[in-house]
């Protein structure tokens, strides 16, 4: 017996659910890539990207996924033999470092832990030791989509300044932009990157980078520059240069619509919505965890992200069975545990185009699966989520 029909619901942290309006925005003929309409489309999106990153710096759009944006940030600012410091807090900042190593960059990982956020004081201590400024860049994620942690980017920026170090501060916002505050200039971030397919509700295939003047000055003598990624070439006045070739017209149609939806809602309102829905998820998980089998991957409640929750299952229970039940019986696709959490955890994404029925439905289905599979769990998780929302979302 199954109770699945109609649209499958993706509760995975990317690609995320796209609003119907975003899907429909792509259902039209292409534009002449040399037309005024095309130039205006690009200009408006570039302006809106600076609004999202909150920067007076320069934005760039790549036809790429997040991995592409990673390579863009590295190739534009670094040279072979340069050393970078990667702040570990899960899978993604270290993945960025993995991209750097084969480019000839010396990668040092500031050892972290899968179950906690980066500690700014440890960053400061490491940078203070580097009196010769051999570290050229510090890389960190705002939200690590594998561990479910949120890092305090403002505090890490302060730590870098407190150490008196001049390394570039580079931040991955793939799983957070549009969903929680990000304040590139105020937080001292030199380079930020993101992607289209998570909080921004757009198909995969667009990657975004923003660079401030300091980063662009360093770029002037970066040895790893290559034509496709190169900021200087993309700054050429010809529209064609902005994409190093043909513009990804339909992805831009989709992004335009997604940004219109996001700005119509208001960024602050979007942040609040994400926070409330994340709290609902956490309320449910806290109740389920009472039986001792399920647990939050991130130990400190203050370090749990508002876009994805990673839930561990103790060794005897298979998260794969729960995921299979939710998918095959109910049409809800949960995120799988990745990296060191493979086979040990599952993830509930709550980023982008999400609302109360989507989240309550997902939690209800997870609870249904826990019950059907006889995985011990505290009773009433979904009800706790409802209570959390009703308490905050007042009549």
Ligand X SMILES: *Cc1c(COP(=O)(O)O)cnc(C)c1O
Please give the residue ranges that form the binding site for ligand X (CB under 6 A): 14, 65-67, 92, 141, 145, 172, 174-175, 195, 204
Shortest separation between residue 335's beta carbon and ligand X, angstroms:
11
Shortest separation between residue 92's beta carbon and ligand X, angstroms:
4
Shortest separation between residue 368's beta carbon and ligand X, angstroms:
28
Shortest separation between residue 37's beta carbon and ligand X, angstroms:
28
Q: Toward ligand X, which CB reaches closer, 204 or 320?
A: 204
Shortest separation between residue 28's beta carbon and ligand X, angstroms:
25
Shortest separation between residue 228's beta carbon and ligand X, angstroms:
16
Shortest separation between residue 66's beta carbon and ligand X, angstroms:
2
Q: Toward ligand X, which CB reaches closer, 91 or 126?
A: 91
β-bridge mates for residue 311, sequence order = 296, 346
Q: State the SS3 of the chain.
A: CCCCCCCCEEECCCCCCCCHHHHHHCCCCCCCCCCHHHHHHHHHHHHHHHHHHCCCCEEEEEECCHHHHHHHHHHHHCCCCCEEEEECCCCHHHHHHHHHHHHCCEEEEECCCCCCCCCHHHHHHHHHHCCCCCEEEEEEECEECCCCEECCHHHHHHHHHHCCCCCEEEEECCCCECCECCCCCCCCCCEEEEECCCCCCCCCCEEEEEECHHHHHHHCCCCCCCCCCCHHHHCCCCHHHHHCCCCCHHHHHHHHHHHHHHHHHCHHHHHHHHHHHHHHHHHHHHHHHHHCCEEECCCCHHHECCCEEEEEECCCCCHHHHHHHHHHHHCEEEEECCHHHCCCEEEEECCCCCCHHHHHHHHHHHHHHHHHCCCCCCCCHHHHHHHHHHHHCCC
Q: Toward ligand X, which CB reaches closer, 151 or 382?
A: 151
Q: Toward ligand X, which CB reaches closer, 193 or 262?
A: 193
Q: Toward ligand X, which CB reaches closer, 198 or 282?
A: 198
Q: Toward ligand X, which CB reaches closer, 141 or 280?
A: 141
Q: Toward ligand X, which CB reaches closer, 142 or 388?
A: 142
Count of positions (residues) in the chain:
395
The residue sitting closest to ligand X, measured at its beta carbon, is 66
Shortest separation between residue 181's beta carbon and ligand X, angstroms:
16
Q: Toward ligand X, which CB reaches closer, 174 or 254?
A: 174
Structural tokens at position 152: 């305090």
Q: Is the dihedral of CA 80, 152, 389, 263 positive or negative?
A: negative
């Amino acid at each position: 017996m199954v109770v699945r029909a109609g649209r499958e619901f993706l509760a995975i942290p990317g690609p995320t659910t796209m609003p119907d309006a975003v899907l429909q925005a792509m259902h039209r003929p292409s534009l002449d890539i040399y037309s005024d309409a095309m130039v205006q489309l690009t200009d408006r999106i570039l302006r809106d990207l600076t609004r999202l990153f909150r920067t007076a710096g320069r934005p760039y759009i790549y036809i790429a996924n997040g991995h592409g944006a990673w390579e863009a940030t590295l190739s534009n600012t670094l040279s072979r033999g340069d050393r970078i410091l990667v702040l570990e807090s899960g899978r993604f900042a270290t993945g960025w470092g993995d991209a750097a190593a084969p480019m000839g960059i010396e990668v040092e990982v500031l050892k972290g832990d899968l179950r906690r956020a980066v500690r700014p004081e440890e960053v400061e201590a490491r940078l203070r030791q580097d009196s010769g400024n051999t570290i050229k860049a510090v890389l960190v994620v705002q939200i690590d989509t594998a561990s479910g942690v949120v890092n305090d980017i403002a505090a890490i920026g302060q730590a870098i300044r407190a150490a008196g170090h001049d390394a570039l501060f580079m931040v991955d916002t793939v799983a957070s932009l549009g969903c929680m505050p990000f304040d590139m200039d105020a937080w001292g971030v030199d380079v930020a990157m993101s992607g289209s397919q998570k909080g921004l509700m757009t198909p995969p295939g667009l990657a975004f980078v923003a660079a401030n003047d300091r980063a662009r000055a360093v770029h002037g003598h970066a040895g790893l520059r290559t034509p496709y990624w190169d900021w200087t070439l993309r700054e050429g006045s010809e529209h064609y240069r902005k994409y190093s070739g043909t513009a990804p017209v339909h992805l831009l149609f989709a992004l335009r619509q997604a940004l219109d939806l996001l700005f119509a809602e208001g960024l602050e309102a979007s942040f609040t919505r994400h926070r409330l829905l994340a709290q609902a998820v956490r309320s449910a998980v806290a109740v389920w965890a009472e039986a001792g089998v399920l647990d939050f991957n991130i130990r400190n409640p203050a370090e749990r992200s508002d876009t994805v929750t990673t839930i561990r299952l103790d060794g005897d229970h298979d998260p794969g069975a729960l995921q299979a039940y939710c998918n095959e019986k109910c049409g809800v696709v949960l995120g799988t545990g990745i990296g060191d959490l493979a086979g040990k955890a599952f993830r509930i994404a709550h980023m982008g185009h999400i609302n109360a029925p989507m989240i309550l439905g997902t939690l209800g289905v997870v609870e249904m699966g826990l019950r059907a599979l006889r995985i011990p769990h505290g009773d009433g998780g979904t009800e706790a989520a409802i209570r959390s929302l009703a308490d905050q979302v007042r009549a």
